[in-house]
């Protein structure tokens, strides 16, 4: 199926180049460790919260079908230490997101990196002091 979901690329390249954040609360068991999905989408909600934030965005394929993705980050205070903020996204923003998806095939994952509309890439590394 040809989709705008750009590609699912895994393992060798992705593992070596994207650093994994520390998701301290909610475990690793659900995730397809090492797998990466990168896609373009439209932000529908940026839930800034404790103990975890999550980003909701819609991804449309060439047939017009829309997948409603939700991907978590760590909590708000922790994300500030990584250079993110409550105002990082607003509904309607066009972004490119890389996630580590869950194993069960649902459009769910955890955020590894986002490229904002202005071209800025935000990752999960902590800012250096």
Where does this chain bind other proteins (CB under 8 A)? Answer: 2, 6-7, 9, 13-14, 17-19, 22-31, 38, 40, 47, 49-52, 54, 70, 72, 75-78, 80-84, 96, 98, 102-106, 108, 112-113, 115-116, 118-129
Element (H, E) at 36: strand 35-47
* Chain center to CA of 32: 14
> In this complex, which beta carbon is closest to other proteins, that of residue 2 or of residue 92?
2
Report, in Å, the least distance between residue 92 CB and other proteins: 18
- Give strand pairing partners of 114: 97, 122
> In this complex, which beta carbon is closest to other proteins, that of residue 25 or of residue 90?
25
Element (H, E) at 110: strand 108-115
Report, in Å, the least distance between residue 110 CB and other proteins: 9
For residues 57 and 106, give the distance between their C-alpha atoms in angstroms, rounded to a whole number.
Answer: 14
Report, in Å, the least distance between residue 77 CB and other proteins: 4
> In this complex, which beta carbon is closest to other proteins, that of residue 22 or of residue 92?
22
Q: Which region, left, alpha or beta, applies to residue 64 given φ > 0 means left and ψ of -120 to 50 means alpha?
A: left
């Amino acid at each position: 199926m040809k989709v705008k979901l750009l590609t699912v690329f895994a393992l060798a390249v992705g593992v070596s180049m994207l650093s994994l954040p520390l998701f301290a609360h909610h475990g690793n068991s659900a995730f397809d460790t090492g797998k990466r999905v990168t896609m373009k989408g439209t932000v529908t909600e940026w839930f800034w919260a404790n103990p975890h934030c999550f980003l909701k965005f819609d991804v449309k394929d060439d047939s017009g079908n829309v997948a409603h993705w939700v991907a978590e980050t760590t909590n708000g205070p922790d994300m500030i230490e990584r250079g993110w903020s409550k105002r990082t996204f607003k509904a309607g923003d066009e972004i490119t997101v890389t996630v580590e998806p869950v194993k069960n095939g649902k459009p769910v994952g955890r955020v590894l990196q986002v490229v904002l509309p202005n071209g800025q890439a935000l990752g999960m590394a902590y800012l250096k002091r």
